[in-house]
């Protein structure tokens, strides 16, 4: 293990990456909800929600799409290097498949799948463009 990897908190990094990839579905729904639309103003006396200008709609939509593609890009980077690990992350976090389903599909035990998943999460954190996912160990005095 290199000196740089010894200072990494692997459990916390894997947990942060898992949370980051789990947000994929939320961003996907937000991007569909914030799809820019053009409509004529409705004039009536009913209360209305906050009106977003077309520019605000487009910015909100593009921000959500960017977050979706960042997560897919992280998984695709690890898929290019190690297809098995990339597939585990894709099916667990994008397709939302269970550990049991994947273990049967890949013909490995659940324990082995969990070990591979943790390895994939840590490697994916290093390949991802967001540096906040790599968490360092805190020194206790």
Quote the CA–CA distance of 108 and 119 in Å, as a whole number: 15
42 inside domain: no
1 inside domain: no
25 inside domain: yes
**pLDDT tens digits, residue range 32-61?**
887 776 665 666 666 666 666 777 888 888
Domain total in the chain: 1
39 inside domain: no
What integer pLDDT is reported at residue 34 of this predicted model? 77
Domain assignment of residue 103, given as a range: 8-34+56-130
**pLDDT tens digits, residue range 83-133?**
999 999 999 999 999 999 999 999 999 999 999 999 999 999 888 877 777
Quote the CA–CA distance of 84 and 112 in Å, as a whole number: 12
From the list 113, 127, 114, 119, the residue with the least C-alpha distance to 78 is 127
97 inside domain: yes
From the list 111, 134, 109, 113, the residue with the least C-alpha distance to 124 is 134
Which band of pLDDT confidence, cut at 50, 70 and 90, is reported for residue 141?
very low
Global pTM value: 0.78
30 inside domain: yes
45 inside domain: no
75 inside domain: yes
């Amino acid at each position: 293990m290199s000196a740089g990897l010894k200072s990494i908190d692997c459990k916390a990094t894997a947990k942060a990456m898992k949370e980051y990839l789990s947000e994929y579905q939320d961003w996907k729904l937000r991007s569909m909800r914030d799809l820019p639309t053009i409509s004529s103003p409705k004039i009536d006396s009913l209360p209305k929600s906050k009106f977003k200008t077309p520019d605000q709609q487009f910015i909100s939509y593009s921000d959500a799409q960017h977050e979706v593609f960042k997560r897919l890009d992280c998984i695709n980077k690890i898929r290019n290097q190690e297809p098995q690990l990339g597939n585990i992350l894709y099916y667990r976090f994008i397709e939302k498949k269970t550990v049991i389903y994947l273990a049967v599909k890949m013909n490995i035990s659940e324990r082995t799948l969990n070990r591979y998943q943790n390895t994939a999460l840590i490697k994916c954190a290093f390949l991802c463009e967001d540096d906040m996912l790599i968490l360092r160990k805190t020194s206790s005095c």
